[in-house]
Amino acid sequence: MSERFYHPSPPHDGRARLEGDEARHLARVLRAKPGDGVTLFDGRGNAWTARVASVGRDVVDLDVGEALPANDPPRSSVTIAVALPKGDRQKWLVEKLAELGVEALVPLVTARGVAEATDSARARLERGVIEACKQCGRDRLMTIGAAATLPETIAAAASGTTILLADPAGEPLETPAAGAALVLVGPEGGFTPEEIAVATAAGARRVRLARHVLRIETAAIAAAARLA
């Protein structure tokens, strides 16, 4: 058994305990037994080998072994700020962005947006991040930010961040030098002229990601694949 499990706090005295969904998956789905080996990661870049010590219905205790080598850091810190699509497309979007190494996802509040980033929606997205990181071997979780408008998102970007606005009428995207990048992806109906004006006035570059008009999640993933 070489399954990966999320454990948000560091092991203590060589021991760790899985609870909730993680414990139920290991105990009920994988039918773990004492002595089985697993990998733990804390979502902040750290991972450890571990062996099952005991299995309960909703709790699994583990003996923690050695720390594993840290993943190589990405060449760029990429944030994707996106007007969320509806339904299951959100889950697919989050899964692929996490796999591609995006640092953070910010749900954008736009004039033409169709989905709200409620607390329950964000919780689902965060669980999707954990599942994606378990599967792809990523040890640092992609963060899901609070919903924000374009001005709020741009204002929160660190000094020196390259800001790119996805626009079918923009210039072809040229990969910028390594560093922080913020990509703004609008809803299906696109950003309004007023929103584009706000972004460009703040220094955003309008960039085209493909020859054709892309759906929300395709645009976000295309940008991430180029930058992250």
In the 3-class helix/strand/coil scheme, how is the chain assigned residue by residue? CCCEEECCCCCECCEEEEEHHHHHHHHHHCCCCCCCEEEEECEECCEEEEEEEEECCCEEEEEEEEECCCCCCCCCEEEEEECCCCCHHHHHHHHHHHHCCCCEEEEEECCCCCCCCCHHHHHHHHHHHHHHHHHHCCCECCEECCCEEHHHHHHHCCCCCEEEEEEEEEEECCCCCCCEEEEEECCCCCCCHHHHHHHHHCCCEEEECCCCCCCHHHHHHHHHHHHC
Q: What is the pLDDT of residues 74-110, one digit of tens each?
A: 777 999 999 999 999 999 999 999 999 999 999 999 9
For the chain, which domains are there? 4-67 (2.40.240.20), 77-227 (3.40.1280.10)
pTM value is 0.91
Q: Which of 46-50, 55-59, 224-228 has the highest mean pLDDT?
A: 46-50
- What pLDDT score was predicted for residue 52? 97
Instruction: For residues 167-174, give the mean pLDDT.
Output: 93
Q: What does pLDDT average to over the chain? A: 94
